[in-house]
Amino acid sequence: MNRDLANVRTARMSPLARLPAFFALEGKRCVVAGGGLAAVWKAELLSAAGARVDVFAPEPSDDVRALAAAPPAGAVVVHARRWTPADCLAAAIAVAECADDTEAAQFAVAARAAGVPVNVIDRPEFCDFAFGAIVNRSPLVIGISTDGAAPVFGQAIRAKIEALIPKGFARWADAARTWRPRVHGLALSFRGRRHFWESFTDRAVAAPDKTPTDADLDALLTPSHTGEAGSVVLVGAGPGDPELLTLRAVRALQSADVILFDHLVSAEILDFARREAKKMLVGKTGHGPSCRQDDINALMVSLAKAGRRVVRLKGGDPMIFGRADEEIAACSDAGVAVDVVPGVTAAQAAASRLKISLTRRALARRVQYITGHGRDGKLPDDIDWTSLADPAVTTIVYMPTKTLPELVAKALEAGLDPATPAIAVERATRTDERLIDGTIADLPARVAGATPSGPIVVMIGRVFAEYRENAAPDELPTATQVRAR
């Protein structure tokens, strides 16, 4: 092995403005002081969570009396008087709607003296905790907090999540709560339990509006859904922008025991992995120290045979110059289950940023992908140069940094028009993306002058001729651009 496989420590948790926590209030007593709309809403939330709510208001409003007459869950009792410090005793939570800071301070002192967490509505300096925006698919509950900085922003995020989470998930979450004791009684290993709940999630996502039945549970308890064997999933991480990850890729990362990743994978992508997963850098650096492919294959197989769920995380798409065939073969030969999750390729991502179709009608009849170097790091000797010189083709060259001058020279010898437009895209879709464009004849010199340090893809073809002229200034990529003169 040319260098040691590297273990990557999970990053520490970033600072939190608030610690998200969920109180279990079923049957517990809570106190609400005040009878305004804000206090009534907090009393309703506490009742919905199963609490017995004592509301203290000298002049109870019609709203608070209506809530007491028909509470969502726990009883709401209205006391037509001002609160006293003794009212906070033996409460689980104390909430107040106060007219001024003086009353707010008095209430906070009284609650804390009784050992009760306190919230004074719209007065964060007197609060031990905050109520966030809520997405209710109980028992699936999602809370959103902006630490009081932008409540409207929090509400907007809640609306987005509401649109993404089917209401039927409430039934599936309730089924999970009901079925958990039976699953626990099977004495499955951690891997088996996780496998079961992953299958449960697949079924819920596939049929969110279905009411789960015992037949669903029986199907999920079959050996295929509680298997203990390890597995390998080849996952395409895309070109770097974490928003281009597929949902399947995110789910694979969140269920992985071990992640073997390449240098081309950005740190933001790894943030999607569950914190407990072991992360190992096994990537290759162009013309530098690298892990041998055989060693990566052996490590991947040995981890899977030890019962681990292994994610082999690759930049772009695993099936495009990612040696996926070798890794799939290694798994198959060892009897290890293997799956593939495709990713957005660098070429697709770069084209989308440029807003250029790689198959523009009348200009390109086909697209071809070629690699700029072979196993020995040199320019491959089996490139179809006649095909590359075809004016009606769009050619995408992967990993061409060191061999670009030789590649261009041979393509020109084969008849490629020196004036053919060409663009090199470095770190496509990342915040430090850079575009280097010109003609194919002068591109090697421009790339060398730009001294790129990140992954590059070179795109050649007539489709790129007028991309800058046809785009409005505010539509051009925001990356640094090195232009032809």
Dihedral (Cα; 260, 265, 268, 269), 10-degree rounding: -60
Which one is catalytic: 87, 257, 262, 317? 262
Find the angle CA(261)-CA(264)-CA(267) to the nearest 5 degrees: 70
DSSP 392: T
DSSP 14: P
Q: Greatest CA span in the chain, whole angstroms? A: 95
β-strand pairing of 456-460 with 393-398: antiparallel
Which one is catalytic: 42, 279, 284, 314? 284
Cβ burial of 278 (10 Å; 0-12, 13-18, 19+) is middle
Alpha carbon distance 295, 387 (integer Å) = 36
Which two tokens mark 392?
């009606």
Q: How many CB atoms lie within 10 A of CB 266?
A: 19
Alpha carbon distance 433, 60 (integer Å) = 61
Contact, 245 vs 272, CB < 8 A? yes
Which two tokens mark 225?
């859904």
Alpha carbon distance 24, 28 (integer Å) = 8
User: Would residue 262 show up in a list of annotated catalytic residues for this protein?
Assistant: yes
Provide the annotated active-site residues.
262, 284
